[in-house]
A = this chain, B = another copy of it.
Amino acid sequence: MEFLTGVKEKETLDIRQIAGGDYEGKTVKINGVIHNIRDMGEVAFVILRKADGLVQCVYEEGKTRFNLKDLKEESAVEISGTVAREERAPHGFEIRMDTVRILSQPDEILPIAVNKFKMHASLEARLGMRPVSLRNVRERAKFRIQEGIVRGFRDFLHSQGFTEIHTPKIVARGAEGGSNVFRLDYFNKRAELGQSPQFYKQTMVGVFDRVFEVAPVFRAEKHNTTRHLNEYIGLDFEMGYIDGFEDIMAMETGFLQYTMELLGSEYKKELDMLEAALPDVGRIPAVRFDRAKELVAEKYNRKIKNPYDLEPEEELLIGRYFKEEYGSDFVFVTHYPSRKRPFYAMDDPMDERFTLSFDLLFKGLEVTTGGQRIHDYQEILAKMEKRHMEPKDIASYLMIFKYGMPPHGGLGIGLERLTMRLLDEQNVRETSLFPRDVNRLEP
């Protein structure tokens, strides 16, 4: 009988192992994809692309035991060779090639220059070729940083006593209501794709006090803008026993502080490659919605058209105002008008036209919506009645209030938007691996 006993050591080495170890003059094996070949005549530089970077390999005619012509870009290979110190090469070393074992060959030559540092191709062209254009080192670096943001979110919340949950995405009814839901037939029942884990994460506050979820959310919005996706990753958390919605903003600030530190220490290579500067998140200003509108109206000489809504341009100006006046890339805008928030938002007892809620703007773009929720059963029934909503439609959600819920609140962060702003990208599609928009269902 054969047995599996765990991960076996591989003969092939990583960049980290070679760069950090005592391999100079030694023969090593390394695998990767042929990124680029620069043939200089008697010598050729064969650049190998690996997950953690590029490696310069040197082909020397007569010494290297294979025919250079057999190598194609995008072939996967295993190279055996001698490590030599070379300060001008990436990671400070190169490999003098001895033999090459070809693991796979492409059928055709790439129609897009993924091996250029910057791909000079339109977003449209890059998205159409996404399965291969992501191989470009700058393109993929964005998604390493995105991984870091998600790690920061989870690790920080775990340290704060949050439990991770997984809630269904096929639901009977969405949390936000409205028309922007995808509908499907679920064994002859009408179902929807979840616009948010809102009902479920509140439910789980009754179970674990503090919960979070990282999962897709679906919005059937027909807007085809630079900041909307029809499917995106929501970083959601919800917490009980809050003294006010300020606790939610404080927790988000803590997450941002933790994450920027993590990115600075473990994702520096990718940040440098993208020339991205980490924002200062030591302190984040908070301003009331109505006050924010006044401030930008005064400073930028702008008329307030609708006192109950923020236009995208107004968000941009609020971002600009707080950058100019306080040096902050982030600003919490609090006390959104009740009519712009869902029924479960808690109204401000001091002025019921407004809610105990907030958005977080990052360089003038909303990246988070959050706030305190109603926890009292009669209060939520009363608010539903005011909005002509039918309690029996969402009876299994209302159950949690009927049988008792602590005061609580939470937020949802759009991962792609947060990544987009961090990297100063102009289109949210840049920071979604395989974006879904009104026209794009593939790749």
Residues of A within 8 A of B (CB): 1-8, 12, 14, 31, 33, 50-52, 72, 74-76, 78, 103-110, 129-132, 134-135, 140, 143-144, 146-147, 150-151, 158, 160-161, 163-172, 182-187, 189, 191, 193, 200, 203-204, 206-210, 215-216, 218, 220, 222, 230-231, 233, 240-241, 246-247, 249-254, 257, 282-287, 326, 332, 375-378, 396-397, 399-407, 415, 433-436, 438-439, 441-443
Q: Is the pair A405, B76 in contact by a Cβ cutoff of 8 Å?
A: yes
Closest Cβ–Cβ distance, residue A42 to chain B (whole Å): 27
B251 near A7 with CB under 8 A, answer yes
Give the distance in Å from the alpha carbon of A442 to the alpha carbon of B406 in the complex: 23
A1 near B287 with CB under 8 A, answer yes
* Contact residues in B for A246 (Cβ distance below 8 Å): 4
A404 touches B75 (CB 8 A): yes
Chain B residues near A231 (CB-CB < 8 A): 168-170
Copies per complex of this chain: 2
B residues near A443, Cβ cutoff 8 Å: 203, 396-397, 399
B33 touches A441 (CB 8 A): no
Kindly list chain B residues whose C-beta atoms are within 8 Å of the C-beta of A147: 163-165
A and B contact pairs by CB, cutoff 8 A, 27 listed = A1-B285, A1-B286, A4-B285, A5-B284, A6-B254, A33-B404, A33-B406, A51-B163, A52-B161, A75-B404, A76-B240, A76-B406, A105-B404, A108-B402, A130-B396, A131-B399, A132-B399, A132-B400, A134-B207, A165-B433, A166-B433, A168-B433, A170-B182, A170-B193, A187-B222, A200-B433, A203-B443
Which residues on B sit within 8 Å (CB–CB) of A51? 161, 163, 208-210
Contact present for B182 and A165 (CB under 8 Å): no
Q: Is the CB of B107 within 8 A of A401?
A: yes
Contact of A1 with B326 at beta-carbon distance under 8 Å, contacts A241-B76, A377-B107, A402-B106 already known: yes
Give A406 to B163 CA distance when docked, in angstroms: 37
Q: Which 10 A-B pairs have the closest CB atoms?
A: A106-B404, A74-B404, A396-B443, A76-B406, A107-B377, A51-B209, A7-B254, A3-B283, A184-B184, A4-B253
Most buried by B among A158, A183, A207, A378: A207
Q: Please give, as numbers and ranges, the residues of chain B lying within 8 Å of A377 by CB-CB distance.
A: 106-107
Cβ–Cβ contact A216 & B169, under 8 A: yes
- Which B residues lie within 8 Å of A134 (CB)? 203-204, 206-207
B403 with A12: CB separation less than 8 A: no
Instruction: Report whether B166 and A233 are in contact in the complex, using a CB–CB cutoff of 8 Å.
Output: yes
Which chain B residues border A240 with CB–CB below 8 Å?
76
